A = this chain, B = another copy of it.
Amino acid sequence: MHRDVSHSLLVDLYELTMAVAYRGQGTAERPATFSLFVRTMPPHRGYLVAAGLDDALTWLEEFGYDDADLAALDRLGVFTDDELRWLGTLRFTGDVRAVPEGTLVFPDEPILEVDAPIAEAQLAETFLLNQVTVQTVLATKAARCRHAAAGRSVVDFALRRTHGIDAGMKLARVAAMVGLDATSNVAGSDRYGLRASGTMAHSYVEAHGDEERAFFDFATRFGERSVLLVDTYDSERGVTRAIDVCLELRERGTQVGAIRLDSGDLVSLARHARRRLDAAGLSDVGIFASGGLDEFEVDRLVRVEHAPIDGFGVGTALGVSADAPGLDSVYKLTAFDGRAVRKTSEGKATWPGAKQVWRSRDWSGDVLGRHEEDSPASGATALLVPVMRDGRRVVDTGLDAARVTFEREWAALPGVFKDLDRPPRYAVEPSVGLRDLTAAVDADQHGGS
């Protein structure tokens, strides 16, 4: 289990060796700016939902090596006692500017920037990338599912399929941030104050052998919360039995919530079930669908087929972001000791210096500028705001605030970028000041190197 993993040890070895090297050279305290951004848009995506800031700031606030950590670092066999003592003194004392969680971002735009002594800022690389990456991947996937459902309910059923526990917990949070309705994850529901939701498993029906008895017993106990799974043996027969049970319980004053379809042709099954439920006077019993669904299939069911489905449970595809599990996210040095820097590696060049992102009021495009530049247009919004000063967070990074941010952004985003398959590319242009700075840095690097 990972419960006792020291989070400050969640670094790549080279963060430590570089920090120690800087110290040996007397430069560990010199100011650096690192920028965390995504280089390229993953397939099918027209936007990314920035997430992970809350955990990133918590890591920075709590960073520090205690005696047990130092013993672990000593076991690496790489560091001298003197270096270990110095590592033990390190805390994160810097500043962070970031876009609030829930903000929609595009490639090249910093999600966060760290201003700190270079050793401290370097050590944060691995954890910050890990959390911002996975949470942005999952938040974006969840937003796509919400969009596909077009107002119908979507429930996170993914805990059994996420890549581990941490991903399952973070998914519960970011799915709620982008407006999913509930989660099956009990720990996530409790941690983040979310509605927990669930149905029944095939095993429950099989353990009874008798499907009708299984439905009856469950619905008697859980009433409106009950979602009767009708496909264990044969969906058509399952619907018949569910209707019988719903009618019998209605006579006793108990309302059943819904039935659930989990296999087969969901369109025809849902239409057939809806007709039969309605004919039985059970218009208030909903139809819930699950079984290998992703945003593409939900979109087909809702927009193409107009299937009479009230809610969707989404598991694997959401939990692993199946069509785009990775993100080309990086954490790059952009300034050091008062000097803007950049790498010019083939195909991987970066923009130098601390940044600001300006978004026009009409979402006609963003400008990637220097941090100290003025707004390029009246009414443009600066996306990066101070979130941490001197190692302490200075903004509310709670889920409620992130939800408000996301809803505002989501309502403003032009619909064309929500296309699930081939959205256009949102324009992000460098400012004149940033281009000038880049030219100056290149001239300097070529002269000096």
Query: Interface of A with B (CB < 8 Å)?
Result: 1-7, 9-18, 20-22, 24-25, 27, 30, 32, 34, 55, 58-59, 62, 72-73, 75-76, 78, 118, 122, 125-126, 129-131, 133-134, 137-138, 157, 159-170, 184-187, 189-191, 196-207, 209-211, 217-218, 221-222, 225, 231-235, 237, 262-264, 291, 316-317, 319-322, 325-329, 331-333, 336-337, 339, 341-348, 445, 448-449
Contact = CB atoms under 8 A, between A and B. Distances in A.
Contact of A321 (B3, B210, B325): B325
Contact of A5 (B169, B225, B339): B169
A200 B14 contact: yes
A190 B133 contact: no
A73 to B, nearest CB: 7
A2 B165 contact: yes
Given A134-B164, A161-B326, A317-B326, 14 more contacts: A2-B169, A5-B165, A14-B200, A17-B222, A122-B204, A130-B165, A163-B164, A164-B169, A202-B343, A209-B445, A231-B346, A263-B345, A316-B326, A319-B326
B233 A345 contact: yes
Given A13-B198, A448-B209, A345 B262 contact: yes
Nearest to A8: B187
A75 to B, nearest CB: 6
Contact of A190 (B22, B75, B159): B75
Contacts of A6: 187
Contact of A16 (B126, B186, B263, B325): B186
A199 B125 contact: no
Contacts of A343: 202, 205-206, 232-233
Contact of A333 (B166, B184, B207, B337): B207
A22 B134 contact: no
* Residue in A5, A55, A344, A445 whose Cβ sees the most chain B Cβ within 10 Å: A5
A448 B210 contact: yes
A291 B39 CA distance: 13
B217 A445 contact: no
A16 B185 CA distance: 11
A129 B161 CA distance: 7
B10 A186 contact: yes
B198 A12 contact: yes
Contact of A160 (B72, B73, B125, B233): B125
A439 to B, nearest CB: 15
A164 B62 CA distance: 18
* Residue in A9, A197, A291, A337 whose Cβ sees the most chain B Cβ within 10 Å: A9
Contacts of A27: 207
B7 A203 contact: no
* Residue in A3, A17, A22, A32 whose Cβ sees the most chain B Cβ within 10 Å: A17
25 contacts: A6-B187, A9-B187, A10-B186, A12-B186, A13-B186, A17-B198, A17-B200, A17-B225, A20-B221, A22-B207, A27-B207, A73-B186, A75-B190, A122-B201, A130-B165, A133-B161, A161-B329, A163-B164, A201-B333, A210-B448, A231-B345, A235-B346, A263-B347, A319-B326, A320-B325
A58 B1 contact: yes
A282 B13 CA distance: 26
Contacts of A225: 17, 78
A329 B3 CA distance: 25
A110 B12 CA distance: 36
Contact of A72 (B78, B186, B317, B326): B186
B130 A161 contact: yes
Contacts of A5: 3, 165, 169, 187, 191
Nearest to A218: B21
A90 to B, nearest CB: 14
Contact of A348 (B10, B14, B168, B263): B263
